[in-house]
Structure 1
Amino acid sequence: MINRKCSRCKEITGTIHGGKKINEEFLCEDCLQKGIASGEIEL
Protein backbone atom coordinates (compact mmCIF):
# COMPACT_ATOMS: atom_id res chain seq x y z
CA MET A 1 0.00 0.00 0.00
CA ILE A 2 1.36 3.37 -1.00
CA ASN A 3 0.51 5.99 1.59
CA ARG A 4 1.41 9.06 -0.44
CA LYS A 5 -1.79 9.94 -2.25
CA CYS A 6 -2.63 13.51 -3.08
CA SER A 7 -6.09 14.71 -4.08
CA ARG A 8 -5.20 14.14 -7.74
CA CYS A 9 -4.33 10.50 -7.06
CA LYS A 10 -7.66 9.93 -5.35
CA GLU A 11 -9.47 11.21 -8.45
CA ILE A 12 -7.52 9.00 -10.85
CA THR A 13 -9.40 5.79 -11.56
CA GLY A 14 -7.59 4.64 -14.67
CA THR A 15 -4.78 5.21 -17.10
CA ILE A 16 -7.06 7.39 -19.24
CA HIS A 17 -6.74 10.06 -16.53
CA GLY A 18 -2.97 10.03 -16.79
CA GLY A 19 -2.37 7.80 -13.80
CA LYS A 20 0.17 5.03 -13.50
CA LYS A 21 -0.98 1.73 -12.03
CA ILE A 22 1.32 0.64 -9.23
CA ASN A 23 0.32 -2.26 -6.95
CA GLU A 24 -3.37 -2.03 -7.95
CA GLU A 25 -3.42 1.72 -7.23
CA PHE A 26 -3.28 4.68 -9.58
CA LEU A 27 -0.84 7.47 -8.84
CA CYS A 28 -0.34 10.82 -10.51
CA GLU A 29 3.06 11.51 -12.06
CA ASP A 30 4.23 13.66 -9.11
CA CYS A 31 3.54 11.00 -6.47
CA LEU A 32 5.00 8.33 -8.74
CA GLN A 33 8.27 10.27 -9.02
CA LYS A 34 8.37 10.90 -5.25
CA GLY A 35 7.83 7.19 -4.60
CA ILE A 36 10.61 6.21 -7.00
CA ALA A 37 12.98 8.76 -5.46
CA SER A 38 12.32 7.48 -1.94
CA GLY A 39 12.70 3.86 -3.03
CA GLU A 40 9.11 3.07 -2.05
CA ILE A 41 8.21 2.17 -5.64
CA GLU A 42 10.30 -0.13 -7.80
CA LEU A 43 9.62 -0.23 -11.52
Structure 2
Amino acid sequence: IYGGSVTSESAKNLAKIDGIDGFLVGNASLDPKEFANIALSLE
Protein backbone atom coordinates (compact mmCIF):
# COMPACT_ATOMS: atom_id res chain seq x y z
CA ILE A 1 0.00 0.00 0.00
CA TYR A 2 1.34 3.40 -1.02
CA GLY A 3 0.73 6.14 1.55
CA GLY A 4 2.30 9.14 -0.16
CA SER A 5 0.56 11.89 -2.06
CA VAL A 6 -1.80 10.44 -4.67
CA THR A 7 -3.57 12.40 -7.39
CA SER A 8 -5.54 11.31 -10.41
CA GLU A 9 -2.45 12.12 -12.47
CA SER A 10 -0.02 10.08 -10.37
CA ALA A 11 -2.24 7.12 -9.46
CA LYS A 12 -2.02 5.39 -12.83
CA ASN A 13 1.79 5.49 -12.86
CA LEU A 14 2.09 4.51 -9.21
CA ALA A 15 -0.16 1.49 -9.78
CA LYS A 16 2.37 0.16 -12.32
CA ILE A 17 5.08 -0.12 -9.66
CA ASP A 18 5.64 -3.69 -8.52
CA GLY A 19 4.62 -4.10 -4.90
CA ILE A 20 2.02 -1.34 -4.80
CA ASP A 21 -1.39 -2.94 -4.44
CA GLY A 22 -3.36 0.03 -3.15
CA PHE A 23 -3.34 3.62 -1.92
CA LEU A 24 -4.01 5.43 1.32
CA VAL A 25 -5.57 8.50 -0.25
CA GLY A 26 -5.11 11.60 1.92
CA ASN A 27 -6.14 15.12 0.93
CA ALA A 28 -7.54 14.00 -2.41
CA SER A 29 -10.21 12.05 -0.52
CA LEU A 30 -11.69 15.35 0.68
CA ASP A 31 -12.56 16.30 -2.91
CA PRO A 32 -15.21 13.89 -4.27
CA LYS A 33 -14.39 14.66 -7.91
CA GLU A 34 -10.66 14.10 -7.42
CA PHE A 35 -11.27 10.89 -5.47
CA ALA A 36 -13.53 9.62 -8.26
CA ASN A 37 -10.93 10.59 -10.85
CA ILE A 38 -8.31 8.55 -8.98
CA ALA A 39 -10.58 5.51 -9.09
CA LEU A 40 -11.42 6.06 -12.76
CA SER A 41 -7.75 6.40 -13.69
CA LEU A 42 -7.16 2.86 -12.43
CA GLU A 43 -9.79 1.16 -14.59
**TM-score, scaled relative to structure 1:** 0.30
Query: Which structure shows the bigger proportion of residues in strand conformation?
Result: 1
**Higher normalized helix content (fraction of residues):** 2
TM-score (norm 2): 0.30
Higher RCO structure (Cα 8 Å, ≥6 apart): 2
